A and B are shown apart, each in its own frame.
Chain A
């Protein structure tokens, strides 16, 4: 059975959007690149855009904060984090299921920083009676954090007014839980106020969600623990917010990692596919595309075993496992 991972929000720290100057710049580049190509129909133009134009020109990596969906095709909704991307996910559910179908949503929270919970007040299914939302996490103040952001004067609709049934489930890191057909294990990560990565296993396939974590490869215990957590993963979704230079100097102890550490850790763990995630909000599409290409090259340089596939997450990206 196919498993799907859909990225509804991939940006770190704060949502961003394309501004007018960026759209204008993309259009100008596309027009110049298209000259002389004979693109006189919409179909020809779309095909050319999809196959010939640079990704950073034809697309955007997007700007919603963290929200990732795991889909086993069984109608169960499983999410990681409630960043601003969960709003788009909620709209997708309404389009797909219609307004009357009642659903159960299982949400695993990496941590409670605002960019990872800010989408919940805008998650449409939370306002529909009959829906059930179970929010899992290792932080003891999980429920308080979700409630507090809807208190006055921050938001006009109090948490108590949400019509869906909402339940909070506290998990113990290192212990395996069976949720919605997945075996799920959390691991403590190095981040201000703590964060937790999740290892999901189903039908012999392994997905690791590890965001907001400063991985220190100079600390042997940390390397061993992270490599075991990532071991043989089919997909590793990894916080690659900073350059290595920033991560070990001016931004040391800021709780995020780099693309270089991502590659080395995935190679050590014999993971198969790395997805760069939690993009730095200061980076535009060209910068993220450049980091992606450089990461592909670093994987090639540092490879001593099997090939590690590398992708850069974008809002709307789907990966089939």
Chain B
């Protein structure tokens, strides 16, 4: 599974692409794992941009939960942004919307997690 990354100030935006099912979950895990160690109170914030994810299975959701648990223990946090309608439904059905803060857009997520990141994002996207 391809996961692209973009930095805005102290925040990393990771963008997985495609269907997260049992065959691609290992790819999701290995692609986000390197960024988890530095996601802590005095480190990076993480935003998962789900705009290019069209499905996520229970195993994929579990990977998200474990990643969130790890960074929470370090004082960090992961938020989710820009879910497609079907993925939004899956979060509702699985009640994962109770486990994660979810935002309609990446910009809204950045506004919540870091003023610096929002400023960096706005300067990039208004240029």
Contact = CB atoms under 8 A, between A and B. Distances in A.
A302 B55 contact: yes
B94 A217 contact: no
A258 B94 contact: yes
Interface residues of B, number: 20
B74 interface: no
Contact of B99 (A217, A249, A302): A249
A94 interface: no
B99 A301 contact: no
B70 to A, nearest CB: 13
Given A218-B62, A248-B61, A301 B96 contact: no
A261 interface: yes
B contacts with A: majority SS: helix
Identify which of B92, B93, B96 gathers the most chain A CB atoms within 10 Å of its CB. Answer: B93
B90 interface: yes
Interface in A205-254: 217-218, 223, 243-246, 248-249
B59 A298 contact: no
A5 interface: no
B58 interface: yes
A295 B92 CA distance: 11
A contacts with B: majority SS: helix
B95 A244 contact: yes
B57 A264 contact: yes
B99 A245 contact: yes
Contact of B89 (A244, A264, A295, A297): A297
Interface string B29-66: 00000000000000000000000000101110110010
Contacts of B57: 217, 264, 302
Interface in B85-127: 86, 89-90, 92-96, 98-99
A57 interface: no
Contact of B93 (A223, A246, A294): A294
Given A294-B92, A297-B93, A298-B93, A264 B98 contact: no
Interface of B: 22, 25, 55, 57-59, 61-62, 65, 69, 86, 89-90, 92-96, 98-99
30 contacts: A217-B57, A217-B59, A217-B62, A218-B59, A218-B62, A243-B94, A244-B58, A244-B61, A244-B94, A244-B95, A245-B61, A245-B95, A245-B96, A246-B95, A248-B58, A248-B61, A248-B62, A248-B65, A249-B65, A249-B99, A258-B58, A260-B94, A261-B58, A264-B57, A297-B89, A298-B90, A298-B93, A301-B55, A301-B86, A302-B57
Please provide the 3 A-B residue pairs with the shortest distance between their CB atoms, ordered closest to farther: A243-B95, A245-B95, A244-B94
